Chain A
Amino acid sequence: MERKDVLPVLAGGLVILVVALVVKPALLGEPIGLASPGSVPVHNPPVYVPPAAAPTATPFPDDGAAYTRNFRWTAIDGGVRTTEVTVPEALFLEHRETPRFSDYNSWGRYALAEADRPVLEDLAREIAPPAANPDEGYFRLMNVVFFVQQIPYDKDENTTSYIEGALPPHAMYVKDGVEYPKYPVEMLVDGRGDCEDAAILMGRLLDALGYDTVLLRYSDHMALGIRMNEFNPYYAKYTPKYFTYEGKHYYYVEGTNYCGGDAFSGDPIAVWGKPYPIGDTQDSLPSVQSETPQIIPLRYVPEPGEYRIRPVRLPAGGA
């Protein structure tokens, strides 16, 4: 075989290579050259970026202007007590200037407001001082319940419900009137509030004592649910009402001594000082007796039911 016979063969091979490596990939939109047609450029994989820390709130100064309120109330032992509460004015004003949440589900945030914690923990200690005897737990609980129930009831749309004598700027106008859920310290400074305000305040105070509570929302009312394993006292002439939420029993507790409108008859004394025991709904509103309430936990964190990543078997033949 001579040289002149080899050249056409080499030229043919070259043409085939050019067609295979350049022309065909160019026509099919594949990468030109010897790269695998399926491969994509591989960059660094994503990395976890931790969330930025939230700025910490500046505590309210102890020596600043403050509101002082005295509450006279009847304890479970029948004794009449006076409890003084001091709320920093700056804290109260900050709450007044805070927009309200329209979603009822987030109202637990009012109860657990971080800024209110020092005031409410002090108040809970004063109303229900820690006791060495565990049997006193029930008395401590009932004193908190009675204390809140005896704070006068007033509707959100009444200007008498606010120390300013006017509706707050963030009062929400709803179909049935006005809605203004108060932070616990707002109810203490105003010295009055409606059913959700009382439930929120009671929830916060009981939380400070270590009780697990939820808000119970009816079509026209709000009350509190206290988690108890079993509550069926021998003296009760009623069957204590409870609701099951996530497998736990929450017993109904009235936050106000609101008796179907009697509170507005002009004789508030007629209904004040008549505490409702835990689980008692005999004299409650018709909605309480007939409806199943929406249960709103004070702490809400969305919890996925499914979250497990399954490891898989790798294809054989790898490196």
Chain B
Amino acid sequence: MDPDTPEPSGLRIPKLPDLKIPKLTVTREKALAAAGTVVFVVVVAVIGGAILLNYTEDQQVAAFHSHVSASEADLFLVSGKITSHMRTPTNDLSVAECDAHMREFAAIARYGRDVTAYHRRIVAADAVPEAYVGAQSAYVRALDNLNRAFTFWSSAAGAYEMRDYNAANRNIAEADAAWREYNAAITDYDRELRAAEEGAEVPPA
């Protein structure tokens, strides 16, 4: 046996045939089927994506709707308390009755402050479609101003308790200003919401 070419006796390595790339026979039918599949996949991906995006946006608007609705329901309760309190005639109250009236005022202010802070946190955290960002921002601003107004009411009630009527008057004036800003924010919200839903151009404030 030749040591350079060890080849056991009786064994022979067969010679491989020349490797060649197999010939693909592309028929017209096969090409059309492949192209059709690609087009189908792309179309399904685009439509699916659009549906998914639309579904997400709808879900976001629904969540925004539900949060604003919950906020409005609670604000309605606050409004009821305020209206009932303001209807009480104060002309003939005794000092004790004036004090009780102011304690109720303080309780309403606390309630309003808690409600606005609570809903502000929820509405502000909503992810909304871009078209609704203006409405969301205006609504959050409205809640902020309302919260500020109630905080001034609380301060006025505190000043009354301390018999510092000048400070109470100052706080009431600040609260009135915050209420006016709240009103302006609500007007902005209505306008922005209309624009988001009707696709109209937002007129300047």
Contacts and interface: CB of A to CB of B under 8 A. Distances in A.
Given A51-B103, A106-B163, A309-B146, A315 B135 contact: yes
A314 interface: yes
Contact of B61 (A304, A312, A315): A315
Nearest to B56: A36
B122 A40 contact: yes
Contacts of B7: none
Interface string A98-126: 00010101100100111001000000000
B86 A307 contact: yes
A114 B95 contact: yes
Interface stretch (B20-28, B31-39, B45-53, B105-113): B105-113
Interface residues of B, number: 80
B98 A301 contact: yes
Contacts of B197: 315-316
B166 to A, nearest CB: 6
A5 interface: no
A302 B60 contact: no
Nearest to A306: B179
Nearest to B171: A302
Interface in B73-103: 74-79, 81-82, 86, 90-91, 93-96, 98-103
A259 B197 CA distance: 75
Interface string A32-70: 000011111010011111111110000000000000000
Given A50-B104, A306-B180, A319 B165 contact: no
Interface string A207-220: 00000100000000
Contacts of B77: 48
A103 B65 contact: no
Given A54-B96, A313-B190, A46 B106 contact: no
Contacts of A106: 163-165
Given A36-B63, A309-B79, A105 B160 contact: no
Contacts of B193: 313, 315
A292 B95 CA distance: 27
B127 A46 contact: no
Contact of A314 (B72, B126, B146, B168): B72
Given A302-B172, A306-B175, A306-B179, A319 B65 contact: yes
Nearest to B122: A40
B102 A302 contact: yes
A303 B175 CA distance: 11
Nearest to B99: A54
A308 interface: yes
Nearest to A40: B125
A42 B121 CA distance: 10
A247 to B, nearest CB: 13
A113 B95 contact: yes
A114 B69 contact: no
Interface of A: 36-40, 42, 45-54, 101, 103, 105-106, 109, 112-114, 117, 212, 299-319
Given A103-B164, A315-B64, 10 more contacts: A38-B60, A39-B63, A45-B74, A50-B104, A54-B99, A54-B100, A302-B102, A307-B179, A315-B193, A316-B61
Query: Across chains A and B, which 5 residue pairs bring their CB atoms closest together, nearest first?
Result: A318-B65, A38-B127, A306-B179, A46-B114, A105-B165
24 contacts: A36-B127, A38-B60, A46-B114, A47-B111, A48-B111, A50-B104, A101-B163, A103-B166, A105-B166, A299-B98, A302-B172, A304-B176, A306-B175, A306-B183, A307-B82, A309-B79, A310-B186, A311-B72, A312-B186, A312-B189, A313-B190, A315-B64, A315-B196, A319-B66
Interface of B: 58-66, 68-70, 72, 74-79, 81-82, 86, 90-91, 93-96, 98-108, 110-111, 114-115, 118-119, 121-122, 125-128, 132, 135, 139, 142, 146, 149, 153, 156-157, 160, 163-166, 168-169, 171-172, 175-176, 179-180, 183, 186, 189-190, 193, 196-197
